[in-house]
Amino acid sequence: MSKGTGEDAGEHDEKTQTAWFKEIAVEVLQKDPSGWWAEFDAERLFPVIRNRIGRLRTKFVRCQKLLGEMGSGIVMDDREDELAGNFRNIWDQVLGMCPEYKRLHALLASSPASTENLLEINDSDADDDELESSERGTSLPPIAALFGSDDLVATPVPKKAATTTVPAKTKVETKTETKAPKRRNNMLSAIEDINTKQSDMLLSVTKMKLGQKATQEAAERAARFKEAEAARQFQREEAELGRAHEREMMDKKLELARIQHGQPMAMGMGNSGAMGNGGQMRVGDGSLMGLLYDGDLTQQWQSQ
């Protein structure tokens, strides 16, 4: 009743599953110290064992699908305290559905493992709804609570079924082969999700950096333009001042040239009305002497 260890792992003695179920029924049920199952023969009891094992396997597969490859690995490493978020909720759900999940995982999802442990599950998990031990106030023995009345009245399998040999290893290998792609798919899906999240994060960071760089470059361009505009304005003002200075100097040079060549020039004599001809005088053409003898101008000079 063992899957074997080491070199003999996976070997069997050509017994059919029905023969194994009958042997388990005799060892577990008929030999139960309470004697409650003694009245039933192996032909009536082996469907009970078969159905119970089938329900355990179905429940285990359902829980394993819920956890996935990553969650199952964490649980089997005894690190379920590290689960958080959605994984934590799934693990709580699995514990409610199948409290014996870790023991079933050791039996059904790994090899070699002893099938004797599967029998120990029947009377060890007090939280399972199917268990009703005598310590909890029931009249049935602990092992009896695992089976219902429908199992007891199951129709015996015809004798022809005994001729069909289906080794237990064949079914285990078939289930393992069907599960393996699912595990790989789950792992690949998890890796793809992680890669997608990393790509999205890198894209967001790249966009943020490009936006910051564009903003910084725009600010630098605006500062350079403002500085260049200020420099041009300063140059314009300096040029305007230079031109005004040049005009002033040119006017002075022209005035000096007029004086040097005897041309009329504007003179401020204090009271221009006292002078003839609008207060102007000519130099070098004889008119100045005539003005000196003008009566008004003579009186003005005398008064001064």
* Residue 51: closest CA among 207, 157, 139: 157
At CA 101, angle to CA 99 and CA 107, rounded to 5?
140
What average pLDDT does the segment 27-36 reach? Answer: 80
36: amino acid identity, one letter = W
pLDDT tens per residue across span 123-169? 333 333 333 333 333 334 444 444 544 444 443 443 444 445 544 44
Q: How confident is the model at residue 214 (pLDDT cuts 50, 70, 90)?
A: very high
State whether residue 270 is helix, strand or coil. Answer: coil
Q: Is the pLDDT of residue 271 over 70?
A: no
What does pTM read for this prediction?
Answer: 0.34
Long-range contacts formed by 189-192: CB under 8 A, 24+ apart? 190/68, 190/69, 190/70
Q: How far apart are CA 223 and CA 69, in angstroms?
A: 58
